[in-house]
Amino acid sequence: MNRSPKDFPIVCVGGSAGGSGAYVQLLKSLPPEMGIAIVIVNHVTRTTATLHKILPRYTTMPVELITESLPIQPNHVFIIPSSRDLLVLDGEFRLKPISKPKGWPDVITRFLRSVARNWKGKLVAIIVSGLDADGAEALGSIKEAGGITIAQTPDTADWSDMPESAIKTGHVDFVLSVEDMARKITQIAQAFPGNAA
C-alpha cells in the first residue's frame, strides 16, 4: 500500500517566554532527514517575528514563515507569523486573524485542536517554556487523535507556567528535557510506517 504524501508526522512545538532557547536546542539536536514536519507555534508576538531568521543557523532543514495555503511538507520547520491564528486544512496551513488580540493568546490551543481534527499522519504536541497555559486545553484532543504529548521538564524551562499547566491536565505522556525530547522525536520518526529502514 502506498503511503499518502500527506501521511507523515507533524511535531508541534508550542511555547512563549523563554521558548526560543528550547527551539534552538531542539533543532540543533534533531537529524534533518527524519521525514517529519516541525511547526513552531510561539505566542509572543515580538519573538515570532524574528524566529524564521534566527533558527536557520541551527538546522539544515528549510525554515519557513507560514503563509496562507502553504503546503505542509516533511523535513521542514514552519513558524507561525505574528498576530495570526493557525489552522490546518487539506494538508495546508490556513491563517486567520488572531481571535484573542487582547489578554493571553490561545494560538497553540487553536492550532492543536485544528491539527487533531484535520491531519491523518502521526501527531506529536510539545509544550515548552512560557507564561500562562496556552496549549494545555488541547492536549486531550491530541490524545484522542492518537497523538503523543510531551512537556518540557519544568525545572529546565526558563518559565515553567506552560509546561506545568500541560502536566496538570493529566494528558501528557512524557515530561522531558529538550535533549531527551529530541531523542524521543527521533524514535517516533523512525517507528513511523514508511520511515523504517
pLDDT digits (tens, 9 = 90+) for 107-125: 999 999 999 999 988 999 9
Q: Which residues make Cβ contacts (< 8 Å) with residue 21, sequence separation at least 6?
A: 129, 158
Percent of the chain with pLDDT over 90: 76
Measure CA of the first residue to CA of the last residue in the chain; give whole Å.
17
Q: How far apart are CA 57 and CA 79, in angstroms?
A: 15
For residues 119-137, average pLDDT? 94
- Report the pLDDT value the prediction gives residue 195, as an integer from 0 to 100: 53
Can you spell out the DSSP letters for 62-88? -EEE--TTPBP-TTEEEEPPTTEEEEE
* Contact between residue 145 and residue 33 where contact means Cβ atoms under 8 Å apart: no
How much is the average pLDDT of 73-93? 94
Write out pLDDT tens, residues 9-61: 999 999 998 999 999 999 999 998 999 999 999 976 554 568 889 999 999 99
Between the alpha carbon of residue 27 and those of residues 31, 95, 98, 100, 143, the distances in Å are 8, 24, 27, 29, 24
Single-letter amino acid code for the residue at 41? V
pLDDT band of residue 6 (cuts 50, 70, 90) is low
- pLDDT-derived band at 100 (thresholds 50, 70, 90) equals confident
pLDDT of residue 98: 86
For 106-141, b/e burial (b = at least 16 CB within 10 A) is: bbbbbbbbbbbeebebbbbbbbbbbbbbbbbbbbbb
